[in-house]
Amino acid sequence: MQNNDITNRGYVPGLQSSLITLTATLNQPRPGVVNNLSQLKPAKIIFALLAALLLLPLLSSAQTVPLINSKLSGRVIDAKTKEPLPGATVSIKGTTHSVATDGDGRFNFVTGQKFPYTLVVSYISYATKEVIANGENIDIALDEASNSLNDVVVVGYAVQQRRDVVSAVTKLDPAATKNIPEGGFDAQLAGKAPGVQINSNIGVPGSDLYIRVRGATSINASNSPLYVIDGVFVNNKSLQGLAQDRSTSPLADINPADIQSIEILKDASAIAIYGSRGANGVIIVTTKKGSYGQKTKIEFNASEGFANAPGDRVWKTTTGPEHALLVNEYSRNANKPEPFRPKDVIINGVPGRGLPEEQPTYDRMSYLNRTAALRDYNLSISGGSENTRFYIGGGYTKQESIWKPMGFERQSLKLNIDHKISSKVSIGTSNTLGRSYRDQARPANGGNGTLLQASLNIPTYLPIFDAAGTPLRWVNFDNIATLTSRTNLWSTSLHYIGNTFIDIDILKNLKFHSSIAVDYNNYDENEYWQKNTILGNANGRGSQSITALATLINEQTLTYNNKFGKHSLNLLVGNTIQSTTVKNLSATGTNFPSDAYTQIKDASIQTATQTNSISRLASFFGRVGYDYDKKYYLEFTARADGSSKFAKKWGYFPGVGVSWRVNEEDFLKDIQQISNLKLRASYGAVGNQEGINDFAALGLWSGGYGYSDGVGSPENPGIAPYQLANKALTWERTTQFSTGIDLGLFNDRLGIEFNYYNKKTTDLLLLRPLPATTGYAAYTSNFAQISNKGFELAVNSTNVKTAHFTWRMDFNISKNKNNVDKIEADIPYAGRDLIRVQQGGELYSYWLYKQLYVDKNTGDTVFEDLNGDGKITAEDRQAVGSIWPKFFGGLTNSFNYKGLDLNIFFTYSFGNKVWNHNRMLGETGGTLDANRVLLASQLDRWTTPGQVTDVPRLTDANYSRQENSRFLEDGSYVRLRSVTLGYTFPALVSSKIGISKLRVYASGTNLLLFTKYTGADPESNIGQDNIQGYDYGVPPQPRAFQFGVNLTL
């Protein structure tokens, strides 16, 4: 009879057990699984995940009829405002039964529990409350809590309450920054986390980002943190295959609207669990999920806006007459004829160009700048039954760049499903699919086809078109009207991040978790340069590059948690198997019939190349955590990683952390003003394997070297040595000591967190040069040592809190001191050897002639004679200034009055230097005549005895050294990063039109910038070779205005 009842409810005999067997089989580690994973096709993985999704509804219906002993309805509200709290969690204490409140704060229980029982009610930023249910409808009022000790924090392979966290972890709410118009969620976090330095290298959405967690730990390898999204290790390196001067960010493929929380792991005890990938910190991203027992909720968020270049951050150039005046002055000082003279005055057979005041001024920047359109739409549906919860989200984002023709467009789909097969077994899947399209360009200084050279760098008196309207080219630069009239570069990124898992409660306190995950990214980029461009002068040039990255991950963990009186013990053991394959196929064609034909097959000359690389990583890890009476905490972590990249394949990375909750001691318990006082300390080691090729330790040969047996004979295929082996190659290793204090006062109305750290990195992965007689230029080796030490301070306070008005403030400040402790020889970087890594100095120090002053009597530059030989030579170049801020951080003030909310967010950086490359190019003293623009700052040059200025007299000698410290400027700034003003309509009003919550808002981004830096943006950076503080001339961060609506049904 029971079987018949189950069959009538849709039960499929054997289905449930078959799926469990299938899932266990997929996740069961086997000998050789690394090789098997590398052979799995991403399409098969995706198919398996989707198959699991299709079977979930059948599993949901394949449950026995539950025993019903009681029904309960209720409502959760704010204790002061009486407004409903949608999404609050209501659970029965001692059971796994929980529901979430709907948009009106209401909930319903149908359960096998008998009255009375205890309800546990929790909501973000509110104090958790327990109430007794006796069968009557119940209203539960929650008090807003400033005490955050019970907040859940995600750490490596676990979640913990904040009070139990031993390590330095910063938790961020992305809701506060998601309206900032950046392509990626990581760029939106600038200034929010202490110890985390984030700079937008360029004001183009979807581009690369500079991010450092507690300084830079490597010279050649990656300094970017590890990103873990829903348990998946996600690639954050650009997959570009075509030569460009800027990189794109794969993280921009992820929709920030789908993110629930972000945790940043910084100290050794937190990151040691990630071993070889944790040296630069770990950023854990958790996406949104539905809630069990939650009524289906629909959320819609939309915004429209515009952005432009701040008027005060546009490069100031000389006018046509001013340019001519300066060139004439230089010529007089050099005893040369003035070129800008009457046209009928012919000297040495060359007529004059006309007097300075007769010269026109052409504004090329007007062809480049535009008012950019911003658009963002997101729709999500979430909810759940007693055993299944789901979240489905879709988004569309379009952000134009303030420079034509660049832009970023993203479509995204998010699907998260979790299902309880039984009280002991649950399965789930997380799926993120993004498609990003980019209109690209070469924006900065550098090679041919760059926007800045075609606009800013051409003297303003030279015309853009001839009399017939034909675009003109000057100085071997392209015409700006030509470059902005069509898109020469474009790309499409298809990005899938998926994770499917099973959790099994083997015993009461013992849980097994197994997962299989994939990060798959297909990056297709194209370019076509028409015939009237420099790159396309051979009758057009077209290229296509397709790069596919597939990372497959299989993980198992076994977790044990138990409490024995006042003793708590938690154990974790696990393993990871990962395989990453990167393939690239690219082709180029030249000599096209016309610009109407842009496909490579149409070119008369065609070339192609391809690459294929694979790396594998096997890991074993564990953690032991112990606490006594919630006062004394001890945590041990260890990880062993084996990498195919190294000859010494295995690395071992331990970590230990301790903490003491002093406020739980008897001598402090009666001091009510102290609500939290915790001391922390940790020490551990992590590694780094990024930044080297997948076969760096091997001796390699390469094909493609043809040879012939004789004159006129056909070419035979050949090979040649490519890379020298290094049998001693191993990991970079970073050890870190960290200590900190967490202090909460007045029931955590005032919270203070202070951290000090000292990091040392040894065995740095670098290319060591070899004598030419070896046949190799260099080989990868371990040498050099660097260190970072600094502090972080975070202060959060609730300054005012009444029934209707709240004022909160968050402030953070950080400092990092970097030093190159040991290196065999100086390493030069960038053109003109502007940057050097030198023992005893900081990473990426600028190697310059130090200008002391301009002689007020002669107008000549006076440089420091470092070696005292009475001459200024290359021996007098030295490290000048520091690109590392003395301190940096952010300040946020949030105000709430009834339905109004106002958020004001500042970021700042002080004491860092920035190389102003455009100023160097634009202050050439007239020596380049018509070959380079002169900036307006050139007008401050010395002209008369007694004049005090730092811009010298216009002579060849004064402008022969471009590596001048005058162009290394103070990059300190204070930026009004964002201001948001919103209004949430009362629930009584919105509910009348069927809307649970309705909010409208207006926001502004980058509204103010206070800085002495004369370039477009002090955060601009070249984005190459780990270099920072090098403004190569890119669009500044735009000033944006947006208007939006948030509604919940």
Q: DSSP secondary structure string, 636-657?
A: EEEEEEEETT-SS-EEEEEEEE
Please give the Cα distance from 849 to 760 (Å, whole number): 31
Report yes or no: 402 and 307 within 8 Å, Cβ to Cβ. yes
pLDDT greater at residue 788 or residue 20? 788
pLDDT of residue 13: 34
Q: Can you tell me the mean pLDDT for 623-635?
A: 95
pLDDT greater at residue 111 or residue 1021? 1021
The full DSSP string for 798-840 is: EEEE-SSEEEEEEEEEEEEEEEEEE-SS-EEESGGG-EEE-TT
Q: With left for phi above 0 and alpha for psi between -120 and 50, is residue 144 left, alpha or beta? A: beta
Q: With left for phi above 0 and alpha for psi between -120 and 50, is residue 26 left, alpha or beta? A: alpha
* pLDDT tens digits, 331-378: 999 999 999 999 999 999 999 999 999 999 999 999 999 999 999 999
* C-alpha Rg value of the chain to the nearest Å: 32
Start-end of H helices in 882-972 = 917-922
Residues with Cβ < 8 Å from 879, sequence gap 6 or more? 836, 838, 841, 842, 845, 846, 847
Place of tokens 């390196």: 237
Is residue 490 pLDDT above 90, yes or no?
yes
Residue 116: cis peptide before it, omega within 30 degrees of 0 = yes
| Most confident by average pLDDT, 56-70, 325-339, 687-701 | 325-339
Is residue 899 pLDDT above 80, yes or no?
yes
Cα–Cα–Cα angle for 454, 459, 461, rounded to 5 degrees? 120
**43-57, 515-529, 596-610: the lowest-pLDDT one:** 43-57
* pLDDT tens digits, 552-578: 999 999 999 999 999 999 999 999 999
Q: What are the tokens at 928?
A: 């380049």
Q: Confidence class of residue 832 from pLDDT cuts 50, 70 and 90?
A: confident
pLDDT of residue 31: 37
Report yes or no: 1045 and 1000 within 8 Å, Cβ to Cβ. yes
Q: Confidence class of residue 68 from pLDDT cuts 50, 70 and 90?
A: low
Q: Confidence class of residue 206 from pLDDT cuts 50, 70 and 90?
A: confident
Q: Can you tell me the mean pLDDT for 170-185?
A: 84
DSSP 8-state assignment for residue 256: G
Q: With left for phi above 0 and alpha for psi between -120 and 50, is residue 225 left, alpha or beta? A: beta
Tell me the sheet residues that pair with 736: 684, 759
Q: Can you tell me the mean pLDDT for 111-132?
A: 83
* pLDDT tens digits, 921-972: 999 999 999 999 999 999 999 999 999 999 999 999 999 999 999 999 999 9
Q: Confidence class of residue 187 from pLDDT cuts 50, 70 and 90?
A: confident
Please give the Cα distance from 1021 to 280 (Å, whole number): 20
Q: Can you tell me the mean pLDDT for 818-836?
A: 88
Q: What are the tokens at 554?
A: 């299989």
Place of tokens 């990056």: 523
Which domains are assigned to the chain? 68-145 (2.60.40.1120), 187-309+370-844+883-912+971-1048 (2.40.170.20)
| Most confident by average pLDDT, 56-60, 87-91, 802-806, 1008-1012 | 1008-1012
Q: Confidence class of residue 880 from pLDDT cuts 50, 70 and 90?
A: very high
Q: Please, what is the average pLDDT of the chain?
A: 88
Q: Confidence class of residue 79 from pLDDT cuts 50, 70 and 90?
A: confident
Q: Confidence class of residue 44 from pLDDT cuts 50, 70 and 90?
A: low
Q: Which sign does the torsion angle of CA 67, 69, 73, 76 carry? A: negative
Cα–Cα–Cα angle for 845, 265, 515, rounded to 5 degrees? 125
Is residue 800 pLDDT above 80, yes or no?
yes
Q: What are the tokens at 401?
A: 């760049």
Q: Confidence class of residue 150 from pLDDT cuts 50, 70 and 90?
A: low
Report yes or no: 222 and 688 within 8 Å, Cβ to Cβ. yes
Neighbours of 349 (CB within 10 A): 5
Give a three-class secondary structure readout of 28-61: CCCCCHHHHHHHCCHHHHHHHHHHHHHHHHHHHH
3 state SS of 107: strand
**584-593, 820-829, 864-873, 903-912: the lowest-pLDDT one:** 820-829
pLDDT of residue 693: 85
**274-283, 510-519, 599-608, 927-936: the lowest-pLDDT one:** 274-283
Query: What dihedral do alpha carbons 181, 186, 191, 193 form, nearest 10°?
Result: 150
Question: With pLDDT > 90 as the criterion, what percentage of the chain qualifies?
Answer: 63
Q: Can you tell me the mean pLDDT for 797-826?
A: 93
Burial letters for 101-129: b for 16+ Cβ neighbours within 10 Å, e otherwise? bbbbbbbebebebeeebebbbbbeebbeb
Q: How far is CA 839 from CA 691, 845, 864, 1030, in A?
A: 21, 11, 21, 21
| Most confident by average pLDDT, 21-25, 196-200, 703-707 | 196-200
Q: What are the tokens at 754?
A: 């202070």
Please give the Cα distance from 452 to 315 (Å, whole number): 11
